[in-house]
Amino acid sequence: MSPRPSGGLDGRGPGQDRGPDEEPTVDTTQLDSTVTQTEEVAGWVDGADPATPVPTCPGWTLTNLVGHIGSTQRWVTRLVAEGIGDPAAAFALASEDAPDDPEGWPGWLRTGAAEVRGTLAGATNGPDVFDPSGGGDGVVFWSRRVFGEISVHRIDAAATLDRRYTIDAPSAVAAIDDWLGTIASAGWAAVVPGFADAMRGTGQTIAWVAEDVDDAWLLRRTDAPLVLTSERVAEADVLITGPAEQLLQVVSRRLPLDAATACTVRGDRAELVHLIDHMDWVAG
């Protein structure tokens, strides 16, 4: 599977401008991957102990993880199906809790993934749907977001249930696009002002460079506070290089930087640690 559209995020991150004649389009390969990855998690949780701690999400158990994955997908399905554009109405929208009986989890997860795929792929209300990034992409934003969510939470499920996590490089790149594009968006700065304030700077640069594909990201700390571009640079205040899969695990805080043995850090390591330390939310 290769769910990254050419250029990544349709060539832009959340909140980045497009030309006046460009229309955002839903990338169905990302939706297909959302289904495939959720189905894999559904197979993993079948028969598992619901009280198992999630090591990558301190304070969570498998019950919390399953509930988060399934209820988030169902919330997005309702948001798009009902064409909700008002932020207050979106945040007030109720979702569906996971079944109390863990035997019902696999089917519940599979159903939720199929529903969100079908709803987003067939949506005609496009940009009218609430987009918390502030980019006005609506349904396109959510197709990226549900893909990014499951790509990261599948790491959590693998760590919890001692399964092997693998993701191909283009898919990892797409998930990094989603993660960095979201945290650099105006909407994220408004929702998580503490993070935005911590990221304000005077032009310091943090470069992420994938070694197994020709993709890279450059974060610049400004008064904005974060500006994201897809520049592949040789020098920055701090530069981390490595395979895309491991970069995804580092940026999502699922793999401690010191344990990322396939990655190399050059420059001011404290700059990179500062960014990672402040991305301390549990859910991806």
- Is 138 within a domain? yes
Residue where a domain terminates, one of 177, 206, 237: 177
- Provide the pLDDT for residue 23: 60
- The predicted model scores a pTM of 0.90
pLDDT number for residue 29:
96
Q: Quote the pLDDT of residue 34.
A: 99
- 31 shares its domain with 150: yes
Q: Does residue 121 sit in the same domain as residue 26? A: yes
What is the number of structural domains in the chain?
A: 2
Question: 190 and 267: one domain?
Answer: yes
Q: Which of 134, 160, 177 is the last residue of a domain?
A: 177
Q: What is the mean pLDDT of each run of 10 residues along the chain (284 residues)?
A: 36 42 77 99 98 96 98 98 96 94 99 98 94 93 97 98 98 97 93 94 98 98 93 97 99 97 98 95 53
Residue 79 belongs to a domain: yes
The domain boundary residue, chosen from 144, 160, 177: 177
Residue-level pLDDT at 27: 86
Query: What integer pLDDT is reported at residue 24 of this predicted model?
Result: 65
Residue 141 shares a structural domain with residue 267 = no
Residue 19 is predicted with a pLDDT of 47
Are the C-beta atoms of residues 129 and 142 closer than 8 Å to each other?
yes
**Phi-psi region for residue 74, left (φ > 0), alpha (ψ -120 to 50) or beta?**
alpha
CB half-sphere exposure, 29, CA atoms < 13 A: 13
Same domain, 86 and 147: yes
- Model pLDDT, residue 3: 45
- Strands, sheet with 226-229, edge to edge from the N-terminal-most edge strand: 226-229, 216-221, 204-210, 238-242, 264-267
Residue-level pLDDT at 6: 28
Query: 226 and 149: one domain?
Result: no
Note whether 145 and 269 are same-domain residues.
Answer: no
Q: Is residue 217 within 8 Å of 228, Cβ to Cβ? A: yes
Whether residues 244 and 203 fall in one domain: yes
Question: Do 206 and 159 share a structural domain?
Answer: no
CATH code of the domain covering residue 194: 3.30.1050.10
Domain extent, residue 106, equals 9-177
Q: Are residues 56 and 159 in the same domain?
A: yes
For CA atoms 256, 259, 263, 268, give the dihedral sign.
Answer: positive
**What is the pLDDT at residue 22?**
55
> Same structural domain for residues 44 and 96?
yes
Q: Is 34 found in the same domain as 138?
A: yes
